[in-house]
Chain A
């Protein structure tokens, strides 16, 4: 297991390294000077020069890049140009919100996907399948912003039952009942496409498992359908489902950009937008690298998890 993991790590690190260089290079080619964003409308040349020196922007490209990478290894993510505070604190703030939202969405999506797929395959009734397939396709086809706006319109404006956005005023832990209400709409909105993709895949895998010869044999021997689905089809369908889930998790941060915008959720998605428009290089480059890292690590974990669930991969060393 460990050797399998070790084999995968170098290429993941390679991706991260190349990405870090590309990100750093790209941001410096973008038109627009952070000094202007900071200095404002009526700045004099002296004040602009003072800001430039303070930010270290007068140093050559390579030394800026190396000092950034060096800082990353020491967990020093740099100082935000605009806000002035350390990027790490700024990120920690937004990251907590995004993680809470993403994890909640993921839990909802996975739980619902398991329940709906299992019910659909166990019951195997025509109208239930048709209904689930319809819901499923709709979930895949409904753009996040559309579902988000519909949810806000329905549950916050027409029937003011839930808050239209924002995070719980006193933090997540103070009042769990309030927290649930703030989380519900954005999490459902973010979970919807993940649920739809996952359910579709899992249902198909379970069905194809149920067509296998061993199932027919077991059925003939009197094993109940429910037992067959849960004990036999599910474990066999899980490894490939984990891969699909891994891909979905990788796209979650992208989806969070939209959801956070609609529900004014102060997370990483809204942070990256404001950081890019403010030319806040230190924040943008860390965020971009972070999003790549999340993807790479998710892929790594997915592969490991899949290998763990399916020994053939581990032993056979399939690439």
Chain B
């Protein structure tokens, strides 16, 4: 039976995803349309979330901005996770590749994420692909480590040794015994990583090294809003609430998954 926590989490994430999918059709304006004369007007029936400094409808921008976050969450994280799992599975089977890969992971994980992001954006320029690259580079070692732990523990199991003696191939062991065993921690980590990804998008765009003008993302909308905190405090509220909903929802899902796993 699912816990109420999981329902709330799923509900929050589902709501944001739904908005992201159908939102742009519901949006009254295009995300980059500049409406003549509507310079930084407050919330009204014509503009539910007001307009920004260059006369754009913030509701339309917010709805469209969700898609960037969905892209980051549902594309970059799974890609990073898949690559990480694959690398972890393959390299940890042999001692030499295992040591090398683990040291590489050590180096990558040793950089604080945001500092790594700033350096990377200086290197390849800011943008949504930079965000995706930061997330992928972060998730590969995280998932690689996770899988390695299962590989290492399963390899020592007597029945695996027995299977190998009877001629079972490495791939068979990996697929048959390692993957199923690590599935649960992987799903928990996937949910955690997704919430971290939303966080990274928002933080990078907030620092100005994420999604660039004129295209909106939740993080860049929050940044735009905070630079006008006194004049137009309403600008950041919508996007901020959505980021919170997304992170909170994913966290609740991961928490209930790991609780279910433990019980």
The residues of A with any CB-CB pair to B shorter than 8 Å are 11, 14-15, 18-19, 22, 26, 29-30, 32, 137-138, 140-146, 149, 153, 157, 250-251, 253-255, 257-258, 261, 272-273, 276-277, 284, 287-288, 291-292, 295-296
| Partner of B195 from A141, A250, A258, A277 at Cβ < 8 Å | A141
B198 to chain A, nearest CB (A): 9
- B162 proximal to A (CB < 8 A): no
Name B's A-contacting residues (CB within 8 A): 103, 106-107, 109-115, 118-119, 122-123, 195, 199, 202-203, 206-207, 222, 226, 229-230, 233, 236, 240, 243-244, 247-248, 251-252, 255
Min distance, Cβ A303 to any Cβ of chain B, angstroms: 13
A198 to B6 CA separation, bound complex (whole angstroms): 22
Residues of A within 8 A of B103 (CB): 11, 14-15, 18
* Main SS at interface, chain B: helix
In the docked arrangement, what's the CA distance between A29 and B109, Å? Answer: 22
Dominant SS among interface residues on chain A: helix
B107 to chain A, nearest CB (A): 5
Cα A141 to Cα B236 in complex, Å, equals: 17
| Complex Cα spacing A296 to B207, Å | 26
7 contacts between A and B (CB under 8 A): A22-B107, A137-B248, A143-B244, A143-B247, A145-B226, A276-B119, A292-B107
- Chain A nearest CB from B113 CB (Å) reads 5
Cβ contacts under 8 Å, B222 to chain A: 145-146
Tell me the minimal C-beta distance from A4 to chain B in angstroms: 18
Other 10 A-B pairs with CB < 8 A, given A258-B207, A273-B118: A137-B255, A141-B195, A141-B247, A143-B199, A145-B203, A254-B115, A258-B114, A276-B118, A291-B110, A295-B109
- Measured in the bound complex, the distance between the Cα atoms of B113 and A140 in whole Å is 17
From A137, A157, A255, name the one whose CB has the most chain B CB atoms within 10 angstroms: A137
How many whole Å from A240's CB to the nearest CB in chain B?
14
